[in-house]
Amino acid sequence: MVPTFQRAMQSGCRPLAEIEIRAVLEYFPGMAETVEPVVMPDIEKEEQTGAESELDPGYLVICWDDPVNLMAYVTHVFQVVFGWPKPKAEFHMLQVHNQGKSVLTRESMERAEHYVHQLHSYSLHATMERDA
Amino acid sequence: MKLIQRDGESFLFHISKREKGLLLEVLKLYPLIPIAHHRVSRTTAAPPVAESQKLLESALADRTRENKRQLLAMLTRESRRQEADGGHRLKFTAPQMEWLLQVLNDIRVGSWIILGEPDEKKAKSIELNDENARYYAAMEFCGLIQMTLLDAFQQSD
């Protein structure tokens, strides 16, 4: 709207045009600041029925070092399988490389199995061990 | 082989005629890792873990079959493709790249097993001979292609 008004002034329009346009602008003051309704996401809190350790002994998913898998590849697999950001994936990859293994996560038996299957499909050396 | 263009989840590579021939030959080695090589646990063979081991082997067998099916389709498709600009164009989606990474790593790790699991840290070196030399070449070539694919994932559009 402003550029149109400027063009009208340059082409010699009467001041009335300015008044008219300003009147229109004042009549619709909220047009440029229309607020969209905000829809808040539904957040459902899972009910806890007991401490995690009471329900399931838990399994640790461990990745072991080997001299064949490329460091960049291991980092990539951790990012894909666990959805981790690169710094976290690199941290665990370096732990595997320097310390011989890294505990990647602690899960129920089914979830641990799922992760071990995923890691094996990428040919990484991973196991699940019962958490002591 | 190098990345020419990335458009979101689509990757376009240039591969020379010689590289492509080598890649197709190496891919024919898949699968190389024996399914029993993967162990679900190191510590126990108790019933829950024994069941998990069976489940793992079944899942890996299914995955291997599916990978093999996709691989054969790709080999057939690529062997028919015409040469252009002194080489070929290979186009992959992100899921195809993931699949190819898995297949290449199976060949890399499988070759390493066949070579006697050499390990520099343990001063366990490779003893090459006429029979296993091709696996050494396959292991190194797969690593090279894997790095190209991984670098491509890092490239922005």
For chain B, which residues make up each domain, given as ranges?
2-34+82-154
What was the pLDDT predicted at A7? 45
A26: pLDDT strictly greater than 80: no
The pLDDT confidence band at residue B157, using thresholds 50, 70 and 90, is: low
Q: Using CB atoms, pick whichever of B44, B102, B146 lies closest to residue A121.
A: B102
Least confident of A81-90, B104-113, B122-131: B122-131
Q: Which is more confident, A4 or A64?
A: A64
pTM for the model stands at 0.76
**Which segment, A26-30, A70-74, A105-109, is predicted with the most confidence on average?**
A70-74
DSSP 8-state code for residue B89: E
Interface with chain B: mutation pick from A96, A123, A125, A127, highest number of B CBs within 10 Å = A123
B77 CB within 8 Å of a chain A CB: no
Measured CA to CA, the distance from residue A60 to residue A102 in angstroms comes to 10
What was the pLDDT predicted at B81? 72
Give me the residues paired with residue B58 across strands.
none
* 8 A C-beta contact, residue B148 and residue B1: yes
B58 CB within 8 Å of a chain A CB: no
Token digits of residue B47 = 């019933």
Q: Between chains, do A117 and B56 touch, taking CB under 8 Å as contact? A: yes
B121 CB within 8 Å of a chain A CB: yes
> CB B150: neighbour CB atoms within 10 A?
16
Q: Using CB atoms, pick whichever of A70, A121, A128 lies closest to residue B63.
A: A121
User: Which value does ipTM take for this structure?
Assistant: 0.90
Q: What is the CATH number of domain A56-130?
A: 3.30.1390.10
Q: What angle do CA A116, B46, A48 make, to 5 degrees?
A: 60
What was the pLDDT predicted at A23? 52
The pLDDT confidence band at residue A8, using thresholds 50, 70 and 90, is: very low
Chain A residues lying within 8 Å of B39, measured CB to CB:
127
Measured CA to CA, the distance from residue B34 to residue B111 in angstroms comes to 11
**Which segment, A5-9, B85-89, B92-96, is predicted with the most confidence on average?**
B92-96
Measured CA to CA, the distance from residue B70 to residue B52 in angstroms comes to 27
Cα-based torsion angle of the residue sequence A68, A72, A73, A75 in order, rounded to the nearest 10 degrees: 120
Q: What is the pLDDT of residues B11-65, one digit of tens each?
A: 999 999 889 889 989 999 999 998 888 888 887 655 577 788 888 888 888 888 8
Residue spans in chain A of domains classed CATH 3.30.1390.10 = 56-130
What was the pLDDT predicted at B55? 85
B90 burial via Cβ count (<10 Å: 0-12, 13-18, 19+): buried
